[in-house]
Each structure stands twice: as structure tokens, then as C-alpha cells.
Amino acid sequence: MSPLLVIFAATFGAAAAGFLPRPAHRLAVGFGAPSRSACAACSRPFPAGLSGWVRAGAACPCTSGGLLTTLTGAAVAMVLAVRLGPSPRLPVLLLAVVPALLLALVDLRCLRLPDRLVATLAITAGLPLAVLAHAKVGTALLAFVGVLAAYGILASLPGGGLGLGDVKLAAVLALIVGFAGWPAVIVGVVTPHLINGPIALFLLVTRRAGGQRPLPFGPALLTGALIALTAA
């Protein structure tokens, strides 16, 4: 393990994550609604064009925050660097951290996983990994199809608690993790339920959540994928 590599990865993760609060705030809207054109707190309109999406730190000058997101980006990137080392997979997965973390932020705020972000994650990680680990393409595709079918069935069951966004993200993450082999896929499939299960039970026992308040599953899916990739 190279300390310089870990420092570089953590710096990249922190710097990239530092620009995510603004797009997360703008994208955290209901299904079918356009992205926010103004701050939800102070109604200040966002600038047109790229400058309306790119801002370091908090989403708006009137709000605080952004530090936790930055620290999370640094921590995730550091874990990847420590576990993978100077692997060709490392830069691919570091880039994938950006849409992955943005998906988690949006899901936590509005229980939605935008298709475009899921597709961006698939393209950012899936295509390069297919080139780097072409011998595992079959495994990755089988994992994608299997998880897509299984989660699709779960989502169709009454009270399943899964949305179509969860199904799509789970399948994409299975594809990405599939390049690490079947043991990693199993870890990636099981771990999210081990994460969200105790949280749901705690919220239910403490009466902080009821049957009408679903628990976002995207962050658990992404955390499970990270564990699977770094434990493989």
C-alpha cells in the first residue's frame, strides 16, 4: 500500500464530493418533477447553465453543510485505495464514487434514484471494467440479469418496500461487482439487507418510522457494493 496513493485517492474523493451538495439539492425532487431552479430554503434562483450546477460546499449560501459529504467522499476513496492498491480498477472505481455518492444523497432526501444517474454509474464503471476484466464479463452479465429478475419480483410484491429505482441500481451494482467474482456478488446482495434491516427495526421500535414511510435503500445498496468490492 502506497501512502501517496491513499492520499491522492482521499484528496480526489473529498474534492469531487465537495461539489455534490448543489446537484443533490437540485435533483432531490419528486418523480417526474423538473430539477429545482431555486433554493428550497431561501428561494434564491440558481444561475443558468453550468454555473447553476457547479458550486463547492453547501448547495446555497443560505445553507450549511457539505462537510459530511466531503468527508464521506474522502473516506470511500481512501478505503478503495487501501484495499485495491495500484490496481487498474482503482481509477475506474474512484470515478464511479461521484455518481454513486450523488445517488445516495438524492435517495436520502427524496426516496428517488434518477435513471440518468444510475445509467451514468453503469457507464462510468461497467464499460471500463469490461475492458479490464473481460474474462469476467459473463459473470457480471449473469449477476446483472439474476439480480434484476430477483429484485423485480420483490418490488412487485405487496409491501415489498422496493421501488423501480432500487431494482435498477441493484442490477447495475451487481454488474459492477460481478467483475470481482461470485463471492463478491453474494456479499453485495446480502449486505444491504443486513444494513437496512436493523435500521428499519430501530425506527419501528422507536416509532420514528411507520408503514407509510419507506426507508431509502439506495445508500445500503451502495454500501454493500463497496464492502463487496473491497472484501473480494
Tens digits of residue pLDDT in 147-196: 999 999 999 988 777 899 999 999 999 999 999 999 999 999 999 999 98
Mark out the alpha helices in the chain (DSSP H runs): 3-17, 21-27, 67-84, 89-110, 115-121, 127-132, 137-156, 164-178, 182-205, 218-231
Query: The pTM is what?
Result: 0.93
More confident residue, 1 or 2: 2
Percent over 90 (pLDDT), the chain: 83
Q: Give yes or no for a contact between 127 and 46, defined as CB atoms under 8 angstroms apart.
A: no
pLDDT of residue 214: 75
| Other beta carbons within 10 Å of 179 | 26
Is residue 210 over pLDDT 90?
no
Q: Cα(177)–Cα(145) distance, rounded to whole angstroms?
A: 13
97, pLDDT greater than 90: yes
Q: Is the pLDDT of residue 205 over 80?
A: no
Please name the residues in contact with 89: beta carbons below 8 A apart, sequence gap of 6 or more: 129, 132, 133, 179
Residue 151, judged by CB atoms within 10 A of its CB (0-12, 13-18, 19+), counts as buried
pLDDT of 21-30, one tens digit each?
A: 999 999 999 9
pLDDT (tens digit per residue) in 39-71: 999 999 999 999 999 999 999 999 877 899 999
For 127, phi then psi, to 5°, come to -65, -50
Q: What is the pLDDT of residue 212?
A: 52
Tell me, what's the pLDDT at 111?
93
Per-residue pLDDT at 39:
95
Q: For residue 161, what pLDDT is reported?
A: 75
pLDDT above 70: residue 87 = yes
Query: How much is the mean pLDDT over the chain?
Result: 92
3-class DSSP state of 14: helix
In the predicted structure, residue 201 carries a pLDDT above the cut 90? no
Nearest to 126 by CA among 172, 169, 186: 172
> How many CB atoms within 10 Å of residue 42?
10
Closest to 124 (Cα-Cα) out of 101, 153, 157, 151: 101
208 band by pLDDT with thresholds 50, 70 and 90: low
Residue 108 predicted with pLDDT over 90: yes
pLDDT at 199: 81
